[in-house]
Structure 1
Amino acid sequence: MLVLSRRKGEAVILQDEIEITILGVEGDNVRLGIKAPKSVEIFRKEVYLSIQEANRESAHQSSIGVEELLKHLNNPK
């Protein structure tokens, strides 16, 4: 992990197209401004992890086999 010290109004640049600026510091809170292309998705980490978990859960939904599907189609209840 790269660790940088920045003051209010200072910024860092990532890969020529993402700029992160320190807007303010109040106690333990740091306000960031992020300039990035619209194609770059930006999430708070807790939201990103929640999205990943939901995707994992939906990918692991149980599915029935072809034989079971045919059985249900031929003998609807």
Structure 2
Amino acid sequence: MPEHLSTALNLSQNAAAQGLGIGLIIVLVAAGIGFLVFFFVALVSIVGTDIGCGAKILWLLVVFCLPFLGSLLWFVVGRPARER
């Protein structure tokens, strides 16, 4: 068995032995994927929004420096209202 597969197997066995069940691991992986999707959707939303260049750069810096909070702030207060 290759070394990296053996190491991964040992890590998963150690996690299970320490009480980290597969359910918790699945939840943590799903939360991580959800966070990444939220982060990238915020980046695409900022780049695609019709605001000034300076404002875009500022929002991108906020989102990169504070990934979850910055993304949340963008969707709550930063994104301009849609015209009807």
TM-score under structure 2 normalisation? Answer: 0.34
Higher RCO, Cα 8 Å, sep 6+: 2
TM-score under structure 1 normalisation? Answer: 0.36
